[in-house]
Amino acid sequence: MTFRRARTDEQRSQRRRQILDTAAAMLTEMPVAKLSLNELSRRVGLAKANVLRYFESREAVLLDLLDTEVQDWITELQQLPTAGDGTARERGDQLADILATSMARRPVLCDLLGAQGAVLERNISTEVGIRHKHAARQSLRTLVEFVLRHLPELGNDGAAALVESTLLMSMSAWQCSRPSTAMLAVYASDPELAAMRIDFTELVRRTTAVTAAGLLARRGHGENAVRPA
């Protein structure tokens, strides 16, 4: 393929989108750790040097993709109905289920989140890091607003704490719930050991529900409290 440099902003945007879409497709086949810049370049149909015209590194590609995946997840959440008029405890449980199940449906998002600190935020420039953190800050604000729709009793600080706890638990739980081939064989060999295998959705659901209940209790909202008028 003969490389044709993108000369307009629209062309550059399309080329970046092509690279990101290709990376996203690759992550449905392989984990973040196995996605190489060489293979990404080959699948896009560009030389590695030409991919680097649009993204400074493999990590910069994945970090941009993470921001896109988070935005897509938030868009999905915003389209879901708000929890009903049950008690704060009941609505907290419903919210925990929504967050856990919606993340479990997005393995690419979970894999990118799990690699964020140790992989994605390395080998990038300050400029890329600043852009990413601004995007992440806005996403956190939007997630806090989403939580408050379901649990206004938490207040801004409580909602922010719940969002942070859920995301941090998801990062860890995703990595721990993806056992190696050797560990799969271990679990298959012994039912008692198999019970130790982590279920991502259940762990995130349970810990988010418990965290929400604890935050509500600290704010004086017992499990029988109803939604404020």
The average pLDDT across 31-58 equals 92
The average pLDDT across 59-72 equals 95
Residue for token digits 């029988």? 224
Note the CATH number of domain 8-55. Answer: 1.10.10
Domain segments of the chain as ranges: 8-55, 58-218
3-state secondary structure 140-194: HHHHHHHHHHHCHHHHHHHHHHHHHHHHHHHHHHHHHCCCCHHHHHHHHHCHHHH
Other beta carbons within 10 Å of 114? 22
Q: Kindly state the DSSP code that residue 31 receives in the 8-state scheme.
A: -
Which residue from 28, 65, 23, 17 is spatially nearest to 40, judged by alpha carbons? 23
Phi, psi of 87 (to 5 degrees): -70, 165
Q: Give pTM, 2 decimals.
A: 0.85
pLDDT digits (tens, 9 = 90+) for 75-84: 999 998 876 6
Exposed, middle or buried, 65 (CB in 10 Å: 0-12/13-18/19+)?
buried
Compute the distance between CA of residue 154 and CA of residue 145 in angstroms, rounded to an integer: 11
pLDDT digits (tens, 9 = 90+) for 169-212: 999 999 889 888 999 999 999 989 999 999 999 999 999 999 99
pLDDT digits (tens, 9 = 90+) for 128-175: 999 999 999 999 999 999 999 999 999 999 999 999 999 999 999 998
The average pLDDT across 9-36 equals 90
Amino acid identity of 48? K
Residue 117 Cα distances to 19, 66, 221, angstroms: 22, 12, 35
In total, the chain counts a number of residues equal to 229
pLDDT given at position 213: 95
pLDDT confidence tier of residue 3, bands split at 50, 70 and 90:
very low
Asked if the 58-218 domain carries CATH number 3.40.50.970, the reply is: no
pLDDT digits (tens, 9 = 90+) for 82-131: 766 789 999 999 999 999 999 999 999 999 999 998 889 988 999 999 99
Name the token pair of 152.
């206004």
Q: Reply yes or no on whether the pLDDT at 224 is more than 90.
A: no
Comparison of pLDDT for 13 and 34, the residue scoring more: 34
